[in-house]
């Protein structure tokens, strides 16, 4: 569980940094830059010959979904939302993790449906009267698309990296970043103006932090941790970063929010997460 805890603290600052310094930059470009830097970080550890059979293609596919598509949706949402809102809307990730795990196991646990509805109700309390505001719904849907991609990748990798495997994470992890960078590159070439960007020194430093530490080491530690815990524990750990990121965005980056609504709706969401974590996990 230690890798998951360390990563949660690293990611808590990412939301505010993206919003403050990169909120107006093309999302596909930011996604590609982060994943390309992460790939460069892991190239010295890459051992392609230690990837048996179809493993490289599976890891490449996981990277495209979990990292590439996830980042494109996630970073685009900052064009519509404040950093603490993006962080808060990621609370649905563990519910998606539980649902996707159930689908793969061909089982149905009604509790996940009820906890999902409770989490939706809590979110509605927080943004009540704000749905009509330009971009709020679009931002919410972008974060949910990002959550779904991240959840699918986590569940897929956890099953692939289960007991009996004949490979080490560090030897093959570059395959995931390669897949993610490929997906982000495709989105970048389809995005008009993405190749004409000019970054200042502050934005460049933030990209280095996000690419090397938050993405490079962060995803590596997270996927290692996710392969060593149960689905229930993984679902809970997905949301440790949420209160941390909200607190950092409000206190460190000085964002404003209706604290009463945030506390009321957040309590409902946290209750949903607690009930979800209490459900039996195979």
Buried (b) or exposed (e) across 24-53, using 16+ Cβ within 10 A? ebbbbbbbbbbbbbbbebbeeebeeeebee
Q: How far is CA 107 from CA 48, 99, 278, 282, in A?
A: 36, 9, 17, 11
Annotated domain spans of the chain: 2-278
Q: CA–CA separation, 198 vs 178, rounded Å? A: 24
Tell me how many degrees the CA angle 90-218-267 measures, rounded to the nearest 5: 30
Q: Report whether 38 contacts 216 (CB < 8 A).
A: yes
* Helix 27-42 × helix 201-208 angle, to 10°: 50
Start-to-end Cα distance in the chain: 18
CA neighbours within 13 Å on the CB side: how many for 246? 17
What is the per-residue pLDDT for 116?
A: 61
99: helix, coil or strand?
helix
The mean pLDDT values, 10 residues at a time, for the chain of 282 residues are: 83 90 89 94 86 86 95 94 85 78 75 64 58 73 94 87 77 91 92 73 93 90 77 64 75 72 66 62 45
Residues 194/182/85/154 CA torsion (nearest 10 deg): 180
**Helices (H) then strands (E): counts for the chain:** 16, 0
Report pTM.
Answer: 0.82
Q: Report whether 23 contacts 79 (CB < 8 A).
A: yes
DSSP class of residue 91?
A: G
Q: CA–CA separation, 74 vs 15, rounded Å? A: 10
Closest CA to 227 of 165, 175, 139, 185: 165
What is the per-residue pLDDT for 227?
A: 72
């Amino acid at each position: 569980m230690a890798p998951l805890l360390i990563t949660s603290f690293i990611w808590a600052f990412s939301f505010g940094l993206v919003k403050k310094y990169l909120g107006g930059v093309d999302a596909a470009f930011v996604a590609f830059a982060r994943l390309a830097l992460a790939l460069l970080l892991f190239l010295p550890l890459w051992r392609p010959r230690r990837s048996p059979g179809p493993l490289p293609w599976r890891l490449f596919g996981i990277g495209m979904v979990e990292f590439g598509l996830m980042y494109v949706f996630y970073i685009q949402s900052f064009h519509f939302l404040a950093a603490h809102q993006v962080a808060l809307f990621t609370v649905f990730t563990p519910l998606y993790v539980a649902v996707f795990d159930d689908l793969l196991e061909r089982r149905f646990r009604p509790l996940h449906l009820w906890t999902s509805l409770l989490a939706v109700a809590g979110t509605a309390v927080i943004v009540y009267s704000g749905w009509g505001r330009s971009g709020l719904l679009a931002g919410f849907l972008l974060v949910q698309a990002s959550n779904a991609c991240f959840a699918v990748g986590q569940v897929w990798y956890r099953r692939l990296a289960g007991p009996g495997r004949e490979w080490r994470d560090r030897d093959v992890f570059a395959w995931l970043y390669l897949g993610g960078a490929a997906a982000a590159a495709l989105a970048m070439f389809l995005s008009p103006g993405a190749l004409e960007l000019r970054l200042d020194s502050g934005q460049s430093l933030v990209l280095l932090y996000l690419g090397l530490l938050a993405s490079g080491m962060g995803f590596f530690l997270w996927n290692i941790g996710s392969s060593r815990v149960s689905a229930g524990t993984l679902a809970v750990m997905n949301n440790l970063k949420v209160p941390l990121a909200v607190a950092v965005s409000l206190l460190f980056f000085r964002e404003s929010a209706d604290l009463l609504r945030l506390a009321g709706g957040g309590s409902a969401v946290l209750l949903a997460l607690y009930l979800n974590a209490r459900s039996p996990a195979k």
